[in-house]
């Protein structure tokens, strides 16, 4: 729908402007900066709810559209719009950021050697990441998307490198180099896309208008040499595979997740990295449907390897935070698998998985972070008997862990089940291999819980405090959402399914017809 109120502009501008205002507050006003950043994130959540209320799942594919000239000579415009897939991720972002601000309430204050405006900087960077992620989700211009897809790396780099563990600088550089390299490859593909549109008779000049290019591709009017299309697809896909991350482009993630503060790590894994899988679903599939089909077997094979690889490495970890980071590599494999099997169940499950992974990872990583901040070590062997001295903390850790292993009744189960069903209809053998992660995830979660929370109270754990009211404010909504979406995912799927149907129709990939067994001749 088109609206006179620039709601999408307001949506991304609120956190960006809020970040600037936070930096302008007096250096001595740390409490004011914290409460103001929390207020800004709460306003963003209200705006996201307004979007949900005004969104019509049965309406046009892209709604709340804004279309204005930006750089006409380059064929690029300020074009914004939201479909059901983008809306689900916008809501996830808006829900998590206020909780992450509360979870990291004292993170910047505790940094040794940092003085002055460290709290202001930390909060401003968090809000900046939120605004840039939202902008990448609602952009309908390829160049506009690319600008913010890359720009979000800068505040995230400073969040990792400026706050966190002893090796944070090394982890931040590794994060930036991997993602910048992927972004440079994508930039070449973005320029190549402009060149081929400029050379086509379909467009008056080169364009970055996503809707116009997709419409031309879908109608068959925009015909490009298949070798060029394949190269452009690989340029986009490489950047998204690094950001997601897809095995074997994942090497930066464990270090960045461990060395960042827990709140910043969740911001990266649960929110920012979704821009990669979202980019695959929107740009790779719809701009390059033939190339996506051509490379589909390779990509889903890498996804299945990532699923099993992440789960196996998680089992062998001695660092609780690194263990959780490797579970995310496995989960991103499921998300990418669901996208590229190109079935309704697979892509609906994949989009829902992006949301559910954000909630479950946030809950598990933050509760683990609360525990590590009390004990001062990430080593699993240092814990034991925590459930006896901090039962609420142990209980919420268990629920979050069970959600991570996709226990029926908790949100990730539905999405993982849909991905596996969608995969089985096209690639039954790969679906069976991916299903092995169900057993592996039970091993790494339950074994971790047993070692950390069960048994006798280990030395140094007898005085561990249970969750504080501020920490309960963070964890309780996440647990509630995991339970609600686990029992009743229909509202989310009602928004997601029409957008998935539009995507599959655009790329001309109907669901496989069921194979019926032949009966005996009569």
Q: Is residue 431 part of a domain?
A: yes
Mean pLDDT, rounded, for 387-412: 91
* Residue 520 DSSP one-character state: P
Res 260: pLDDT: 87
CA 110 to chain centre: 28
- Which range has the worst mean pLDDT, 31-35, 69-73, 282-286? 69-73
Mean pLDDT, rounded, for 481-497: 92
Res 139: pLDDT: 93
Domain extent, residue 468, equals 288-509
Mean pLDDT, rounded, for 426-454: 89
pLDDT tens-place string over residues 190-201: 999 999 888 887
Q: Is residue 366 part of a domain?
A: yes
Res 353: pLDDT: 93
Residues of the chain above pLDDT 90, percent: 52
What is the C-alpha separation between 522 and 519, in angstroms, rounded? Answer: 9
Structure confidence at residue 4 as a pLDDT band (50, 70, 90) = low
- Which range has the worst mean pLDDT, 207-221, 278-292, 326-340? 207-221
- Contact (CB, 8 A) for 380 and 449: no
Q: Is residue 123 part of a domain?
A: no
Res 377: pLDDT: 85
What is the C-alpha separation between 367 and 485, in angstroms, rounded? Answer: 20
Of 336, 322, 159, the C-alpha closest to 244 is 336
Contacts of 209 (CB under 8 A, 6+ apart): 75, 76, 77, 79, 140, 141, 142
Res 463: pLDDT: 84
Res 513: pLDDT: 66
- Which range has the worst mean pLDDT, 23-32, 388-397, 415-424? 23-32
Rounded to a whole number of angstroms, the CA Rg of the chain reads 23
What is the C-alpha separation between 377 and 485, in angstroms, rounded? Answer: 33
What is the C-alpha separation between 332 and 356, in angstroms, rounded? Answer: 12
- Contact (CB, 8 A) for 82 and 54: no
Q: Is residue 155 part of a domain?
A: no
Of 387, 364, 367, 383, the C-alpha closest to 375 is 383
* Residue 382 DSSP one-character state: G
- Which range has the worst mean pLDDT, 10-14, 58-62, 353-357? 58-62
What is the C-alpha separation between 280 and 300, in angstroms, rounded? Answer: 12
Across 32-107, the runs of DSSP E, i.e. the strands, are 63-71, 76-82
Indicate if the pLDDT at residue 107 is higher than 80: no
Mean pLDDT, rounded, for 233-238: 94
Q: Is residue 117 part of a domain?
A: no
Res 402: pLDDT: 93
Q: pTM here?
A: 0.90
Contacts of 177 (CB under 8 A, 6+ apart): 252
Q: Is residue 41 part of a domain?
A: no
Q: Quick one: CA dihedral 32, 34, 37, 43, positive or negative? A: negative
Res 113: pLDDT: 45
Res 479: pLDDT: 94
Structure confidence at residue 127 as a pLDDT band (50, 70, 90) = very high
Res 7: pLDDT: 92
Indicate if the pLDDT at residue 90 is higher than 90: yes
Indicate if the pLDDT at residue 331 is higher than 80: yes
Mean pLDDT, rounded, for 426-447: 89
Q: Is residue 448 part of a domain?
A: yes
Mean pLDDT, rounded, for 66-91: 89
- Which range has the worst mean pLDDT, 174-188, 252-266, 453-467, 475-489? 453-467
Phi and psi for 68 in degrees, rounded to 5? -135, 150
Structure confidence at residue 339 as a pLDDT band (50, 70, 90) = very high
- Contact (CB, 8 A) for 90 and 134: yes
What tokens does 283 get? 């740009």
Indicate if the pLDDT at residue 112 is higher than 60: no
Higher pLDDT, 166 or 150: 150
- Which range has the worst mean pLDDT, 41-45, 125-129, 220-224, 498-502? 220-224
Residue carrying the six token digits 């249970």: 466
Q: Is residue 359 part of a domain?
A: yes
- CA distances in angstroms from 186 to 180, 414, 488, listed in the order given: 10, 33, 38
Res 46: pLDDT: 95
What is the C-alpha separation between 404 and 361, in angstroms, rounded? Answer: 7
Domain count, the chain: 1
Structure confidence at residue 373 as a pLDDT band (50, 70, 90) = confident
Res 364: pLDDT: 92
What is the C-alpha separation between 251 and 454, in angstroms, rounded? Answer: 32
Residue 402, CB-side half-sphere exposure with 13 Å CA sphere: 14
Structure confidence at residue 460 as a pLDDT band (50, 70, 90) = confident
Structure confidence at residue 280 as a pLDDT band (50, 70, 90) = very high
Structure confidence at residue 111 as a pLDDT band (50, 70, 90) = low
Structure confidence at residue 520 as a pLDDT band (50, 70, 90) = low
- Which range has the worst mean pLDDT, 334-338, 459-463, 517-521? 517-521
Residues of the chain above pLDDT 70, percent: 95
Indicate if the pLDDT at residue 21 is higher than 90: yes
Work out the mean pLDDT of the chain and round it to a whole number. 88
* Residue 59 DSSP one-character state: S
Res 518: pLDDT: 52
**Pairing of β 76-82 and β 63-71:** antiparallel
CA 469 to chain centre: 28
Of 81, 68, 73, 82, the C-alpha closest to 207 is 73
Structure confidence at residue 2 as a pLDDT band (50, 70, 90) = very low
Res 162: pLDDT: 83
Q: How many CB atoms lie within 10 A of CB 6?
A: 14
What is the C-alpha separation between 408 and 415, in angstroms, rounded? Answer: 11
Of 113, 120, 7, 2, the C-alpha closest to 67 is 2
Res 375: pLDDT: 84
């Amino acid at each position: 729908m088109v609206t006179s109120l620039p709601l999408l502009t307001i949506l991304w501008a609120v956190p960006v402007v809020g970040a600037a205002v936070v930096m302008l507050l007096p250096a001595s006003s740390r409490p004011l900066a914290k409460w103001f950043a929390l207020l800004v994130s709460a306003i963003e959540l209200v705006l996201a709810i307004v979007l949900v209320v005004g969104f019509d799942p049965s309406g046009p594919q892209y709604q709340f559209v804004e279309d204005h000239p930006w750089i006409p000579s380059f064929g690029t415009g300020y074009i914004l719009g939201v479909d059901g897939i983008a809306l689900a991720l916008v809501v996830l972002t808006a829900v998590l950021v206020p909780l992450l601000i509360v979870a990291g309430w004292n993170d910047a204050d505790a940094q040794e050697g940092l003085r002055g405006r460290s709290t202001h900087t930390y909060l401003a960077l968090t809000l900046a990441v939120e605004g840039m992620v939202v902008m990448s989700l609602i952009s309908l211009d390829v160049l506009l998307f690319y600008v913010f897809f890359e720009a979000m790396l800068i505040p995230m780099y400073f969040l990792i490198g400026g706050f966190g563990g002893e090796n944070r600088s090394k982890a931040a550089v590794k994060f930036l180099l991997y993602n910048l390299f992927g972004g440079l490859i994508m930039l070449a593909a973005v320029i190549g896309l402009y060149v081929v549109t400029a050379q086509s008779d379909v467009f008056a000049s080169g364009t970055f208008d996503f809707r116009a290019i997709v419409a031309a591709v879908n109608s068959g009017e925009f015909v490009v040499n298949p070798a060029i299309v394949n190269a452009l697809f690989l340029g986009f896909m490489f950047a998204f595979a690094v950001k997601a991350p897809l095995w074997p482009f994942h090497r930066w993630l464990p270090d960045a997740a461990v060395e960042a503060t827990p709140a910043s790590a969740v911001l990266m894994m649960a929110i920012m990295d979704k821009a990669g899988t979202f980019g695959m679903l929107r740009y790779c599939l719809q701009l390059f449907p033939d190339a996506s089909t051509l490379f589909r077997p390779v990509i889903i094979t890498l996804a299945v390897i990532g699923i099993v690889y992440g789960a196996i490495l998680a089992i062998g970890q001695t660092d609780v935070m690194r263990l959780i980071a490797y579970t995310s590599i496995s989960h991103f494999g499921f998300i990418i698998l669901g996208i590229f099997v190109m079935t309704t169940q697979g892509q609906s499950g994949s989009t829902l998985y992006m949301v559910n992974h954000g909630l479950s990872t946030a809950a598990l990583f933050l509760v683990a972070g609360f525990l590590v901040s009390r004990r001062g070590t990430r080593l699993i062997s240092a814990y034991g008997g925590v459930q006896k001295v901090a039962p609420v903390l142990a209980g919420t850790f268990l629920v979050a862990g069970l959600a991570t292993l996709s226990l029926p009744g908790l949100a990730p189960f539905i999405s993982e089940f849909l991905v596996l069903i969608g995969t089985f209809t096209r690639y039954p053998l790969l679906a069976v291999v991916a299903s092995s992660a169900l057993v592996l995830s039970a091993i790494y979660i339950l074994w971790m819980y047993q070692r950390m929370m069960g048994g006798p109270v280990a030395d140094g754990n007898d005085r561990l405090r249970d969750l504080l009211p501020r920490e309960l404010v963070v964890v309780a909504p996440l647990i509630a959402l995991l339970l609600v979406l686990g029992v009743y995912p229909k509202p989310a799927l009602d928004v997601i399914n029409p957008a998935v149907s539009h995507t599959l129709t655009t790329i001309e990939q109907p669901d496989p017809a069921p194979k019926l067994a032949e009966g005996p001749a009569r």
